[in-house]
Structure 1
Amino acid sequence: MTSNPALAVNTRPWTDPDAKPFISIRNITKRFGDFTAVNDVSLDIYRSELFCLLGGSGCGKSTLLRMLSGFETPTSGKILIDGQDMAGVPADRRPTNMMFQSYALFPHMSVEKNVAYGLLREGKSKAEAAERAAEMLKLVKLESFARRKPHQLSGGQRQRVALARALAKQPKVLLLDEPLGALDKKLREETQFELINIQETLGVTFIVVTHDQDEAMTLATRIGVMTEGVITQVGEPREIYETPKSRFVADFIGSVNLFEGRVGPSAPDLMRVETEDLGPVSVPPVPGLTQGQTVWLAMRPERVWLTREPKEGAVNTVPGIVRDMGYVGHMSSYLVRLANGRQVRVTQANESRRDNPISWDESVHLSFEPADFRVLTQ
């Protein structure tokens, strides 16, 4: 059976110039005395997105989240949610709810009473609040824990209770501040997919603040990378990783090798960049660059070919010596020292290296495909 294209739902509305954003942040600035925590940020977020604000400590991401929730007032700028200007709208009147990193559960209340608490405060009847709490506990797979107290739950279970409580009031937007930060690595990875499933089931717009790159890459429909109070790049996870727009983003998301160089002569299909570390490197031509201009070449470790002999047909190749390596199950990571002392990080899947793997102190050759370099100007 063929579906009607006219009825198809656009799951990537940010690619449609005519799509109307659900949340519009316009030139938002927040100052605390002489310190600017958020600096002239503009951002559009669409209905039912799972959007991640990603950045290091003190970059302004939590302050931006608190301004969305109404717990902080912008120094200047405007926030609109579903077409409504949030200026002067208190936190308890906004179509948002916040889930805090600490979970903030009431220790003396049972799980079901924790989830129902906000509904009772809104004036819902006990029966209505209990029914909604039961629905939410079923959603997060905790219905059998309804009568337990928070101290009788694991960290992951407390996290899900906090999520159920935040969703019980049926907010249009759920704001999550480092929601998985208190969990251990294995549980955090498991809970990420539970969070995605819950978000997709309900269709609620989620905005997640995190400093964990892997978490953002797993969860998000799109990521906004923040540093020093500004958003430096917004894009889908693959776009952020494969086509960073700056050295900061390239270095912050995953692992990267960065090589400084100057633009050399260009041919129709390739441009030469003169680097101290790799010598002359051929890359695809980039419009707008001038000969002699300083650029940086970003290369992901998994894109580097590591071989004992020069790779046949390689356009860019350089010799080196393996100085360190680490085995992490599905892959191995290498540090290869070049002739000038620069170290290049390389990762290779272990599936293709079962027999006679490259090891410490071996002479090797690194090869780079021109299209695998990302040319950066900032």
Structure 2
Amino acid sequence: MAKKPQLAVDTRPWRDPNAKPFVRIKNVTKKFGDVAAVADVSLDIYKSELFCLLGGSGSGKSTLLRMLAGFEEPTSGTIEIDGQDMTGVPPYQRPVNMMFQSYALFPHMSVEKNIAYGLKREGMPKDEIAARVEELLRLVKLEPYAQRRPHQLSGGQRQRVALARALAKRPKLLLLDEPLGALDKKLREETQFELVKIQETLGVTFIVVTHDQEEAMSLATRIGVMNQGEIAMIGEPADVYEFPNSRFVAGFIGSVNMFEGVVTEDEADHVRIRSAEAGCDIYVDHGVDCAPDQILWYAIRPEKITLTRERPEGDANIAKGIVEDIAYLGDMSVFQVKLDSGQYMRVTKANSERGDPNAIKWDEEVYAQWSGGAGSVLTV
């Protein structure tokens, strides 16, 4: 008799209602004068997560990170790390280390001595320091560079030295403030994967602050999107991108087309929206918590839309327009379509063929079409 295949165990503790958070932020507010940089934030982060706090300038993400590190005290609320209340606990007594955007390496010390610095300050025996430094150099793939000074290294190598130094004291929690911000685009992309591998190897809980949406999507087990001191949404990268909970989140993560409309049909299995901005009816193939005649917004990503010269069949999700601009980006092309309604729609198409002779050109009349499940209906 054949054995039943075993189901894979879900290793995502945030999906388990009984899992105990490793970091618990409860109703934390931080005011500077009358201004709340962080406003009543509650957030649970679990052991071995790589959690990203994502937000624009002034969203409160760095202030929240500094409170976790102990550099700022909350005006109200509590922070617990590994079950311990951090109220009044100074930075040097917390099971936390922080890696800054500037890396803050000692220019007169070799790579080896930079990594060993904190361990020497703690009075660790020399042989143990040497073994730990060797282990970390191997982990960040910098063994051949042990005797070099920071100015003799590339930006990516300096970033890895700073990471090794931050990990030397084996913190339970590592806080990273815009860790890849100083690197160029290609190196940043390469380093993202290295950072994930290192985090998975060590199992240390990482909390990363970034303003870069692509970086957050590449690194994170979960993302907390921040806006004006509040958490706008928490979710796994795919959920935040595909199922945003508000116009702000939809617009902040990636590129999106947004159309206002009015509900004309509200059924259990579908909704129809009349949208003057889209210039067509929008059909959604699932129920939505809304009322007839309610004004709402429909968000659809550029890659979910198909452009054709001939009008497709159907009475919804078909918008007509003229191609005003095309940007060729190598792996894909971006089409800027001016709809008959006067609104603009952004459409992307993967360049799977070389020199496609049938590719849509500038000034062509086109029809943009999408499926009933392609977009998100937003009420806020």
CA contact (8 A) 1:48 1:205 kept: yes
Tell me the residue number matched to 1:226.
226
Q: Equivalent residue of 1:371, what SS? A: coil
Q: Distance in 2 between matches of 1:292 and 1:313?
A: 23
- Partner AA of 1:376 in structure 2: L
- Partner AA of 2:305 in structure 1: V
CA contact (8 A) 1:266 1:285 kept: no
Alpha-carbon shift at residue 137 of structure 1 (Å): 0.9
Change over 3 Å in CA distance of 1:268–1:124 after alignment to 2: closer
CA contact (8 A) 2:268 2:287 kept: no
CA contact (8 A) 2:309 2:367 kept: yes
Tell me the residue number matched to 2:323.
322
Alpha-carbon shift at residue 5 of structure 1 (Å): 6.4
CA contact (8 A) 2:48 2:203 kept: yes
- Partner AA of 1:299 in structure 2: I
Alpha-carbon shift at residue 3 of structure 1 (Å): 11
Alpha-carbon shift at residue 316 of structure 1 (Å): 1.8
Q: Distance in 1 between matches of 2:269 and 2:85?
A: 50
Q: Which runs of 4+ in 1 moved over 6 A?
A: 2-6
Q: Distance in 2 between matches of 1:183 and 1:280?
A: 45
Q: Distance in 1 between matches of 2:29 and 2:198?
A: 32
260-269 or 14-23, which moves further after superposition? Answer: 260-269
- Partner AA of 1:292 in structure 2: D
Q: Distance in 2 between matches of 1:3 and 1:204?
A: 35
CA contact (8 A) 2:25 2:43 kept: yes
Paired residues for 1:298-337 under 5 Å: 298-313=299-314, 315-337=316-338
Structure 2: unaligned runs, 5 residues or longer: none
Tell me the residue number matched to 1:371.
373
Q: Equivalent residue of 1:272, what SS? A: strand
Q: Equivalent residue of 2:357, what SS? A: coil
CA contact (8 A) 1:315 1:368 kept: no
- Partner AA of 1:139 in structure 2: L
- Partner AA of 2:299 in structure 1: A
Count of residue pairs brought into register by the alignment: 377
CA contact (8 A) 1:243 1:374 kept: yes
CA contact (8 A) 2:281 2:315 kept: no
Tell me the residue number matched to 1:217.
217
Structure 1: unaligned runs, 5 residues or longer: none
CA contact (8 A) 2:51 2:223 kept: yes
Tell me the residue number matched to 1:346.
347
Tell me the residue number matched to 2:42.
42
Alpha-carbon shift at residue 108 of structure 1 (Å): 0.9
Tell me the residue number matched to 1:296.
297
Q: Distance in 1 between matches of 2:12 and 2:108?
A: 44
Change over 3 Å in CA distance of 1:3–1:30 after alignment to 2: farther
Tell me the residue number matched to 2:19.
19
- Partner AA of 2:346 in structure 1: R
Paired residues for 1:181-260 under 5 Å: 181-260=181-260
Alpha-carbon shift at residue 65 of structure 1 (Å): 0.4
Q: Distance in 1 between matches of 2:289 and 2:282?
A: 18
Q: Distance in 2 between matches of 1:145 and 1:123?
A: 25
- Partner AA of 2:107 in structure 1: P
212-221 or 282-291, which moves further after superposition? Answer: 282-291
1:144 and 2:122 equivalent?
no
CA contact (8 A) 1:70 1:89 kept: yes
CA contact (8 A) 1:24 1:81 kept: yes
Tell me the residue number matched to 2:154.
154
Residue identity over aligned pairs, in percent, reads 64
Tell me the residue number matched to 1:135.
135
Alpha-carbon shift at residue 127 of structure 1 (Å): 2.3
Q: Distance in 1 between matches of 2:202 and 2:298?
A: 42
Q: Equivalent residue of 2:198, what SS? A: helix
1:101 and 2:104 equivalent?
no
CA contact (8 A) 2:270 2:287 kept: no
Tell me the residue number matched to 1:282.
283
Q: Equivalent residue of 1:65, what SS? A: helix
Q: Distance in 2 between matches of 1:88 and 1:192?
A: 34
Alignment deviations for residues 328-350 of structure 1 (CA, whole Å, 9 cap, x no partner): 11111001011121110000111
CA contact (8 A) 1:20 1:46 kept: yes
Q: Equivalent residue of 1:286, what SS? A: coil
Alpha-carbon shift at residue 131 of structure 1 (Å): 1.8
Provide TM-score, normalisation by structure 2: 0.96
